[in-house]
Amino acid sequence: MIKVEIKKEVEKIKQITVDGHADFAEHGSDIVCAGVSAIVFGLINSVDELDDEVQFDISTNEDETGHLTYRSLQSTSKEQLLLNAMLIALKTIEENYSNYITIEIREVN
């Protein structure tokens, strides 16, 4: 199962962590994993390309765990718009494939 954890601080997304694999289908044919990956990487690339003022950090594991963490270091309204678009897209996948992806949103200080 893919586990997505969103950490928010005063309604701003501060961190997104994606862990695991959906196991919806065999490797290379898994539409849930492909969809989540396309959304996450597409939106992070959009933040990087479209917002010169934002500062963020990404960490990933190159092994089989399927781990990515995005940390917002200096947020902008453009970044928040794109991160919220990512969240909406991921929630759409969760609505249709809830046995394969879960999203947890936590408020942090």
The whole model's pTM is what? 0.91
Report the DSSP beta bridge partners of residue 16.
Answer: 6, 70
Residue in 8, 12, 21, 67 annotated catalytic? 21
Active-site annotation holds for 33: yes
CB-CB contact of 89 with 39 (8 Å):
yes
Q: pLDDT tens digits for the chain (109 residues)?
A: 999 999 999 999 999 999 999 989 988 899 999 999 999 999 999 999 999 999 999 998 866 667 999 999 999 999 999 999 999 999 999 999 999 999 999 999 8
Assess contact for 42 and 36: CB atoms under 8 A: no
Strand order in the sheet with 12-19: 55-60, 68-74, 12-19, 2-9, 101-107
The catalytic position among 2, 16, 22, 33 is: 33
Active-site residue 21, yes or no? yes
State the Cα–Cα distance between residues 102 and 93, nearest whole angstrom.
9
